[in-house]
A and B are shown apart, each in its own frame.
Chain A
Amino acid sequence: MTGTFQLDGANIPFEPGQTVMQAALAAGRYIPHLCYHPEFKPHGSCKVCTVKVNGRTMASCTMPAEAGLKVESNIEELNGLRRTLVQMLFVEGNHFCPSCEASGNCQLQATAYALQVMTPHYNQFFPDRPLDASHPDILLDYNRCILCELCVRASSEVDGKNVFGLSGRGITKHLIVNAESGLLKDTGMALTDKAMQVCPVGVILKKGQGFSVPIGERRYDQRPVSAQALDDAPRPADASGSCAACEGSS
């Protein structure tokens, strides 16, 4: 089914199987998001992409696009909600941007800037999350994990390795690796894995390389997260409107 729906008053065309988020990005309209990635099936856990669909709040990354929907996104009520959700993610983990290797490349930080988050607002949880430096090439800093599951999905779906998983429940939910020792060195993780590339924050880091690009010249220092997200979004490949990168993501 193709057609158009309305996003903040603009007509957005969509392809069969696209979600509201996918269609919006393809049409050059940014909806803030963290756990959504154009190459993976959306699962809708961070809720930062929450929009109002015909008056009801839904996660836009999982909401199937339908003709005639009235979607509101860039309104203060929803941006306020997103601000709170981003603040929740900040205080839930241990995020110290000034000393973080991912600063400037971090989607959480960039999204916070875009939403004008000025303070964490809430009390810090200060969870105890030890580092894993066991792997010769790769460092895991669980302090920064926002539980988006992109590394889980990438390692499973692309690398075929299932290096990552999730355990625990509620506020104790946490990222684990696929080893009896609990250490990354005992998994098949390699620098060439897709899972190396998808972390939106600074959990999965290459060892032996720090601040090779100076702060101030990094990804989100160059252009805001909204522009980067649109660059990354799959666009209609040709005039026929087929969307190659959207395959398998419905």
Chain B
Amino acid sequence: MAADSEIHKAGLDSILDRYARDPNALLQVLREVQELHGYIHPSSISYIGVKLGIPRARVEGVAGFYSFLHLQPHGEYRVLFSDNITDRMQGSQALMEQMCRQLWLQPGKVSEDGLVSINTTSCTGMCDQGPAMLVNGRAITRLTPQRVQEIGGLIRNRTPLSDWPADFFRVEDNIRRSGPLLDNTIAPGDVLRTALALGSKDIVEAVKNSGLRGRGGAGFPTGLKWEACRNAPGSEHYVVCNADEGEPGTFKDRVLLTSYADLVFEGMTLCARAIGARHGFLYLRGEYRYLLEPLQAVLQRRRDDKLLGRNILGQPGFDFDIAIHLGAGAYICGEESALIESLEGKRGIPRNRPPFPVTHGYLQQPTAVDNVETFCSAALAMQMGAENYRAIGTPKSSGSKLISVSGDCPRPGIYEYPFGVTVREVLQDCGAVNTRAVQVSGPSGVCVAESEFDRKLGFEDLPTAGAFMVFDDSRDLFEVARNFVHFFAHESCGFCTPCRVGTAMLKSTMDKIAAGLGTQYDLGEIEHLDHVLQTSSHCGLGRTACNPVLHTLKHFRPAYESRLKSLEFEPAFDLDGALARARQMTGRDDAGAHLKSEET
């Protein structure tokens, strides 16, 4: 055991030193230890606690919060199939079964020889080129039975990930329709030169006049946020770019970070100039780990070009730099106050508000947290001029919006539209036919049925963070909702009672209905749970967790009712199902190993 502990302490010091033994960097330290050892050994947790000067229990608590950090060995190869509904529609479940058979494994278990584990994970943001998976945190796209077979072979042969075919890891941008943002001709530094001619107040005014609203979904006016942050007293001000693109079905930030990283950083630096910040963070979701090195390279080039660092563009006192902080598999960290907690190396629990991050954010200092696309749009608006930018879109939703289209259509990918475009126009452009429903803005958004396809994307009607998942008439909307309910239960942070317990109950009730054991009584229970979640949850996750069920019940109630027994009440307990474990242990699945359930 002692020798084991020594092995696990190896390499820790260099990681800890790289982060200057800063307790705020705890999550980054743990993530690197996970990369180094494949899991985080109990002795590593104790060691990190001592070296960072924080209680061991806090280190363990943080390590236990994030999906991509493991406290037990999880195999040399850790395979995670993306489990968004779009991956499932592309056949991910059959592929996972195939791989489990090939490697003699059960989902969630580690192989006896400690070689490999296979499980599912929340949407990895590759819906336009799924089914997708992560292997040791690296994204693999366009899975087919052949590709899965090859991957199984590579794992069995213990081929290092670096020697796997590069094509496995290829991620396409799939830009299908561009507009002012994606067609921009801004060269690095252009926007900052424009901004330098203005005072910080004028930048804020320009952003306010452009009518720009946050692109993460909530739509708070960006100029007002920057103004409030600028005016808030504090020893430091911080800029935070929210690149924790976790909403299933959204992948536009992935494309911006891949091909428009300069514009993202230009927008962040513009914000820094406006609010008087010297430090910025890009909070990059763990699923986009493969973007870390390319983004670091862009940051370094910008430092070399005097677009970051001290005296930016030769302007004395204009100091600003950006650090990249990686997430580790927690959707809740897309919520801005949970994101800040995570930046501080804590469990990603949304804070009580007020106070808001603009006055009490990172380290309780004024902090402007904006979405990736918001920073790009702010830079664009600055360059175009507020009036010209405002002329695009609709009165209350100025500018253009990137839509991530996936699901049942021949041309999934990124579409840029002026706000005000109808659902129907998007469907036509992506070539979707026989569409039954569209999930706008992800599971927490709205399920739109055919009768509503003339509704417009924009803050006046259908606000969206960008996800646009298409379901044709072959799809079962009950299964769509059930997938989303499972997602919310998995991603609940567990802080408040209604969300922690309620999402788990919602999940088991949907599973009960799926198993053919549901009754009208269960639908009533779902409606009651929805009310409890909506009225008493701590944050938006709990409040929106029931949306998928509410919306599909409204439009597609027969999809639920066709599964119900006509009884008033049916217990979830299934006598035959209770024997499943005995069947598994004895390797039997014949008729004699089953109890006839009460058929009437």
Please give the residue numbers on chain A whose beta carbons come within 8 Å of chain B beta carbons, in ascending order: 43-48, 50, 57, 59, 62, 64, 81, 84-85, 88-89, 91-92, 122-123, 125, 147, 156, 162-173, 176-180
* Cα-based distance from A245 to B48 in the complex (angstroms): 37
Given A47-B498, A89-B497, A170-B489 contact (CB < 8 Å): yes
Given A47-B536, A170-B492, A180-B504 contact (CB < 8 Å): no
Given A45-B496, A178-B57, A169-B538 contact (CB < 8 Å): no
Is B372 interfacial (CB-CB < 8 Å)?
no
Question: Which residue of chain B has the shortest Cβ distance to A187 in the bound complex?
Answer: B57
Question: Which residue of chain A has the shortest Cβ distance to B42 in the bound complex?
Answer: A180
Given A81-B535, A84-B532, A179-B494 contact (CB < 8 Å): no
Q: Assess whether A180 is in contact with B56, with CB atoms less than 8 Å apart.
A: yes
Dominant secondary structure at the B interface: helix
A216 to chain B, nearest CB (A): 30
Chain A residues positioned under 8 Å from B528 (CB to CB):
84
Question: Which residue of chain B has the shortest Cβ distance to A163 in the bound complex?
Answer: B57
* CB 8 Å contact bits of B451-492 with A (1 = contact, 0 = none): 000000000000000000000000000000000000001111
Question: Which residue of chain B has the shortest Cβ distance to A123 in the bound complex?
Answer: B572
Could you write out 10 A-B pairs with CB less than 8 Å apart? A47-B538, A84-B528, A88-B497, A91-B501, A92-B500, A169-B64, A169-B493, A169-B494, A170-B490, A171-B500
Chain B residues positioned under 8 Å from A170 (CB to CB):
489-494, 500, 503-504
Please give the residue numbers on chain B whose beta carbons come within 8 Å of chain A beta carbons, in ascending order: 42-43, 45-46, 55-58, 60-61, 63-67, 330, 347, 352, 354, 489-498, 500-505, 508, 528, 531-532, 535-538, 572
* Cα-based distance from A169 to B65 in the complex (angstroms): 5
Given A123-B572, A171-B492, A165-B60 contact (CB < 8 Å): yes
A183 to chain B, nearest CB (A): 12
* Cα-based distance from A168 to B46 in the complex (angstroms): 17
Question: Which residue of chain A has the shortest Cβ distance to B492 in the bound complex?
Answer: A170
Q: A47 touches which one: B63, B67, B491, B496 (CB < 8 A)?
A: B496
Given A46-B497, A166-B347, A170-B490, A85-B352 contact (CB < 8 Å): no
Chain B residues positioned under 8 Å from A44 (CB to CB):
352, 496, 538
* Cα-based distance from A171 to B490 in the complex (angstroms): 8
Question: Which residue of chain A has the shortest Cβ distance to B498 in the bound complex?
Answer: A47
B340 to chain A, nearest CB (A): 16
Question: Which residue of chain B has the shortest Cβ distance to A156 in the bound complex?
Answer: B55
Given A45-B538, A84-B532, A169-B494, A89-B42 contact (CB < 8 Å): no
Question: Which residue of chain A has the shortest Cβ distance to B535 in the bound complex?
Answer: A57
* Cα-based distance from A122 to B489 in the complex (angstroms): 17
* Cα-based distance from A168 to B69 in the complex (angstroms): 11
Q: Assess whether A50 is in contact with B55, with CB atoms less than 8 Å apart.
A: no
Q: Assess whether B64 is in contact with A88, with CB atoms less than 8 Å apart.
A: no
B187 to chain A, nearest CB (A): 44
Chain B residues positioned under 8 Å from A167 (CB to CB):
57, 60-61, 63-65
B339 to chain A, nearest CB (A): 15
Q: A88 touches which one: B42, B60, B330, B498 (CB < 8 A)?
A: B498
Q: Assess whether A88 is in contact with B505, with CB atoms less than 8 Å apart.
A: yes
Question: Which residue of chain A has the shortest Cβ distance to B505 in the bound complex?
Answer: A122
Chain A residues positioned under 8 Å from B46 (CB to CB):
180
* Cα-based distance from A178 to B42 in the complex (angstroms): 11
* Cα-based distance from A81 to B56 in the complex (angstroms): 37
